[in-house]
Amino acid sequence: MSKPIKQNRMDRRSFIGKTSIALAGIAALKSQAFAMAAESVGLAELYKDDFYIGAAFGGRILMNNDEEMLGIIKREFNSISSENDFKWASIQPSDDEWRFEVQDKFVKFGLDNNMHMLGHCLVWHSQVPRSLFRDADGNQISKEGLLKKLDYHVLTLVDKYKGKMNAWDVVNEAIEERGWRNSNWVRIIGKEFMERAFNLAHEADPNAHLIYNDYNMDKKGKRDQVVEMVKDFKKRGIPIHGIGLQGHVGLDYPDLREFEASIKAFADEGMKVHITELDVTVLPYDWGRTAEISTNREYAASLNPYTEGLPKDVDKKLADRYVELFKIFLKYRDSMERVTFWGVSDDQSWKNNFPMRGRTDYPLLFDREHKPKSCYDAIAALKK
């Protein structure tokens, strides 16, 4: 009797062991499936009750039908901006020439994927054709001549995408800490060029959300100038609906208390707040803070220390910095319309070449192999 009993016990132990292994395998598969499902939920879905999560990207991704990058964009973002293709020199390179091929693909991609779309930008002092501020004889254009060009450009472009483009950066980088930027727009037309642009955009598409966009908006002088502009526009009925704060920041600048103060100041004026060009550089610098695109300095190896990869301690600082920023954004979710990253992956970021060509920077959520980084995980974890 002892042998059968012993055999039965062994059978039961074997059965229990095999069952435990099987159950553990099932649990592991379930865990893996859950992890894969979690990964398939992008940031746009995680933050859908807070604000749009956007990405700006270049037209080559669309023209080359880069399925990998387009897949990331569709999964992770619900708002899109074009880095350069809607800028004046790209879309209207001369007075009588328009180029719409890339822009039409951008809009179709947005419509096909039910995305919020922003046109960047209608009026800027930079990235314009040389002929813009010249008359037919090559001389500086008159005020009346430049106003005609402004009217034609804004009305044509906004009307073409009426009802499709949700929002426009109407004017970009026109204000400095001590007043108006001394651009050709101001020198030839005067500061009223800005209100003219907003009125024209509203005339062409009364339902479009109209934004003023600028960098270094944490600085009190610039903040105060923009607040005064907003108050003046509201008083006189100029249609302005949002303020864009370019988020070109670093690990230790700007002072986030001042950055938050600007968000609050614009929200207090009834403006929807947009973080429009977010990236966080990890590299050192020895120049004054700027996003002026014409800035270009000589290469220095000391300012490009991470050519072989990002050290773990710096990677952690990057994740922590993004968390600090997103905690502020969530605090103001009622006024925050959108957070848009200026690029998708590190290999395609403009920061690799600004303001010094040849640098290796790591400012975005996806690495050079297009995989999510620690900073991505940290932002996602805030909503899980």
- The residues that are catalytic are 173, 277
Q: What backbone torsions phi and psi does residue 228 show, to the nearest 5 degrees? A: -65, -40
Q: How many CB atoms lie within 10 A of CB 264?
A: 16
**Sign, Cα dihedral of 170, 171, 173, 176:** negative
What tokens were used for 180? 């108006």
CA pair distance 377, 43, nearest whole angstrom: 10
Closest CA to 193 of 261, 136, 138, 123: 123
Asked if 48 and 55 count as a contact pair (C-beta separation under 8 A), the reply is no
CA pair distance 267, 256, nearest whole angstrom: 16
Q: How many CB atoms lie within 10 A of CB 328?
A: 17
Tell me the CA distances in angstroms from 168 to 163, 273, 298, 347, one per residue in order. Answer: 12, 13, 35, 27
Tell me the CA distances in angstroms from 150 to 172, 193, 201, one per residue in order. Answer: 14, 9, 11
What tokens were used for 242? 């949002």
Tell me the CA distances in angstroms from 256 to 174, 220, 247, one per residue in order. Answer: 23, 12, 11
What tokens were used for 276? 């429009």
Residues for the chain: how many in total?
384
CA pair distance 189, 147, nearest whole angstrom: 7
Closest CA to 246 of 310, 175, 317, 345: 175
SS3 340: strand
Sort strands 272-281 and 242-245 into parallel, antiparallel or unpaired: parallel
